A and B are shown apart, each in its own frame.
Chain A
Amino acid sequence: QKEVEQNSGPLSVPEGAIASLNCTYSDRGSQSFFWYRQYSGKSPELIMSIYSNGDKEDGRFTAQLNKASQYVSLLIRDSQPSDSATYLCAVTTGGGYNKLIFGAGTRLAVHP
Chain B
Amino acid sequence: DAGVTQSPTHLIKTRGQHVTLRCSPISGHKSVSWYQQVLGQGPQFIFQYYEKEERGRGNFPDRFSARQFPNYSSELNVNALLLGDSALYLCASSIMGGAYEQYFGPGTRLTVT
Contact = CB atoms under 8 A, between A and B. Distances in A.
A100 B40 contact: no
Given A88-B42, A103-B42, A104-B41, A98 B102 contact: yes
Interface stretch (B14-22, B68-76, B78-86, B91-99): B91-99
A97 B107 contact: no
B14 to A, nearest CB: 24
A101 B31 CA distance: 17
B102 A46 contact: yes
A36 B92 CA distance: 12
Contacts of A4: 42
Given A43-B107, A49-B101, A98 B48 contact: yes
Contacts, number: 68
A102 B45 CA distance: 9
B104 A99 contact: no
A97 to B, nearest CB: 4
Contacts of B66: none
A98 B97 contact: yes
A12 to B, nearest CB: 19
Contacts of A51: 99
B8 interface: no
Given A44-B90, A49-B101, A99 B45 contact: yes
A46 B40 CA distance: 19
Interface of A: 4, 31-32, 34, 36, 42-46, 49, 51, 88, 90, 92, 95-105
22 contacts: A31-B99, A34-B101, A43-B104, A43-B107, A44-B90, A46-B101, A90-B42, A96-B98, A97-B55, A97-B97, A98-B33, A98-B99, A98-B102, A99-B33, A100-B43, A100-B45, A100-B102, A101-B45, A102-B43, A103-B42, A104-B42, A105-B41
Interface of B: 31, 33, 35, 40-45, 48, 50, 55-56, 58, 88, 90, 92, 94, 97-107
